Amino acid sequence: MSTQKIHSVITGTGKYIPKRKITNADFQDTEFYTADARKLDKPGAEITQKFEEITTIAERRYVEDQWVTSDIATFAAREALEDAGADPETLDYIIVAHNFGDVQPGSTRLDIVPSLAARVKHQLGIANPATVAYDVIFGCPGWLQGVIQADYYIRSGDAQKVLVIGAETLSRVYDPHDRDGMLYADGAGATLLEARETEAPVGILAHQSRSDTLVHSGMLFMGHTFKPGEEHKDDLYLKMYGRKLYQYALENVPQAIKACLDKTGIPLSDIKKVLIHQANGKMDEAILVRLYQLYGMEPDSEEVMPMTITWLGNSSVATLPTLYDILMRGEMEGHNLQAGDTIIFASVGAGMHINAAIYRL
């Protein structure tokens, strides 16, 4: 009697990191205001230095003016398909995670008709009508939620190949007079998941999602600029209650990751890497510490948690697939992944949503 089971395995990865580098020094002449329209009188260098101390972000990448989100999503998708040696016509699903659609430079207007997945499919030149293309709007955890959906399709026998992409251009939707805007960045990452029949458990071993909307749905929202005299304009920008979000993440993300890991019976000591959404460096470090405390352990953060936020900023849905691609290609000194390694993916963001997945290479 066969003991083989269908597993969802990542067979290809790709990314698009914009060439346009924005350092903290580029914000030193910016007029920043608080939510109650008070101008920050501190020198720009002091503001940006404090920002870096809190977030660890020193620079970020902004997309070039000629591209929109669906373009860079396509760039990452092509790289992932090439990495896997896969024919685009054989894809069963294309899932694109984003939150703002194709925002043009100089505008904050969302453009999501048709879906970005449909646009990516068009740009890939796929003629197969059986390749179903749709979007996921799930805050920063969107890419991982797309992966979770892909796993359901594959394990049910409905799909053999699912392309999951996370892409965002947050540089076009933040308020230039809000300090929190320095968090945001642009980028795209893609993964191809395929069905594999094996006896040993590989690929996605477990996943966990939650949506705390009753109390916390308003932590990230769209609002007017903080600059006095312009607050009644029609433009809306990405806003957040940073301190409340920080506390929410510390209280809930470690518990969600533990619930996911406990489903597998794998001890935390067997986890090679913890890949957390790159939202805030200090917050991620605190989340990791609390996770290990739940098991009576202390983490070696530099060893177990690779970080890109210091130089790539927070690119929302693109951070996890970009980080994974960097690791798989051996592009981060001191960090590597090999067959048999078990890792954790985890993310938190607007909703508020949290998800996690355990993955074995």
Q: What is the rounded average pLDDT of the residues 144-155?
A: 98
Q: In what order do the strands lie in the sheet with 271-276?
A: 203-211, 353-360, 342-349, 271-276
Same domain for 174 and 152? yes
Same domain for 173 and 233? no
Same domain for 36 and 126? yes
pLDDT of residue 234: 77
Q: Which of 198, 231, 260 is the last residue of a domain?
A: 198
> Where does the pLDDT of residue 342 fall: very low under 50, low under 70, confident under 90, or very high at 90 and above?
very high
> Where does the pLDDT of residue 2 fall: very low under 50, low under 70, confident under 90, or very high at 90 and above?
low
Same domain for 217 and 264? yes
Same domain for 84 and 119? yes
> Angle at the Cα of 78 (from 75 to 82), degrees rounded to 5?
145
Q: What is the CATH number of the domain that holds 156?
A: 3.40.47.10
Same domain for 9 and 152? yes
Q: Which of 198, 231, 261 is the last residue of a domain?
A: 198
Domain boundaries, position 239: 203-360
- Closest of 356, 12, 314 to residue 165, by C-alpha: 12
> Where does the pLDDT of residue 229 fall: very low under 50, low under 70, confident under 90, or very high at 90 and above?
confident
- pTM above the 0.85 mark? yes
pLDDT exceeds cutoff 90 at 1: no
Q: N- to C-terminal Cα distance for the chain?
A: 26
Q: Which of 180, 198, 216 is the last residue of a domain?
A: 198
Same domain for 46 and 113? yes
- Closest of 245, 216, 292 to residue 55, by C-alpha: 245
- Closest of 321, 264, 75, 61 to residue 170, by C-alpha: 61
